[in-house]
Amino acid sequence: MKDMMNIKVFFCDTYALIELIGGNRNYKQYTSHILVTSDFNLMELYYSLLRDYGKEVAEHHFDEWTEFTVKIPRYIIKKGMEIKFANKKEKLSYVDCVGYAYALEINIPFLTGDSKFENKIGVEFAK
């Protein structure tokens, strides 16, 4: 019961999903927590895996992560674009800004290895 109190929820960006799938040891600690992502991140994941490993691998991991997706409300999409606009010199991705806005809104860490997010509030950074 004590271990249940230490479980956190993390929002995984596409970078984090790829590292988790690839078995990056720096991401192993997160596998004992609740991980969520969005359909937008699944879209990027599918494309990345399709490009690098083929359709079978892409399909497998897309299906595997589908159950961990959260619905992104439209107002969060707007907040994400406000974040992108406020940080336009950093050229943050649209998808990352939406996921980051969602994580901030519900007060969970945004898990990423993207160096553009390393020093931002609410980010759990792992390379």
Q: Where are the domains of the chain?
A: 3-125
**pLDDT mean across residues, the chain:** 96
Q: Report DSSP state, residue 15.
A: H
> Taking residues 14-33, what's their average pLDDT?
97
Is the predicted pLDDT of residue 111 greater than 50, yes or no? yes
The pLDDT tens digits for 54-70 are: 999 999 999 999 999 99
With bands split at pLDDT 50, 70 and 90, how would you rate the model's confidence at 6?
confident
Is the predicted pLDDT of residue 2 greater than 90, yes or no? no
Question: Looking at residue 1, what is its pLDDT?
Answer: 46
Q: State how far the Cα of 121 lies from the Cα of 19, in Å rounded to an integer.
A: 22
The pair of structure tokens assigned to 59 is: 């399909």
Look at 71 and 6; give whichever has higher pLDDT: 71
Q: Which residues of 40-52 are buried (b: 16+ CB within 10 A; e: fewer)?
A: bbbebbbebbeee
Domain 3-125: top CATH class: alpha beta
| pTM of structure | 0.94
Cβ proximity of 10 and 33 under 8 Å: yes
Q: What strands lie across the sheet with 123-125, from one edge to the other? A: 69-70, 34-38, 9-12, 110-112, 123-125
Q: In sequence order, which ranges of the chain are alpha helices (DSSP H)?
A: 14-22, 39-53, 55-66, 74-86, 94-106
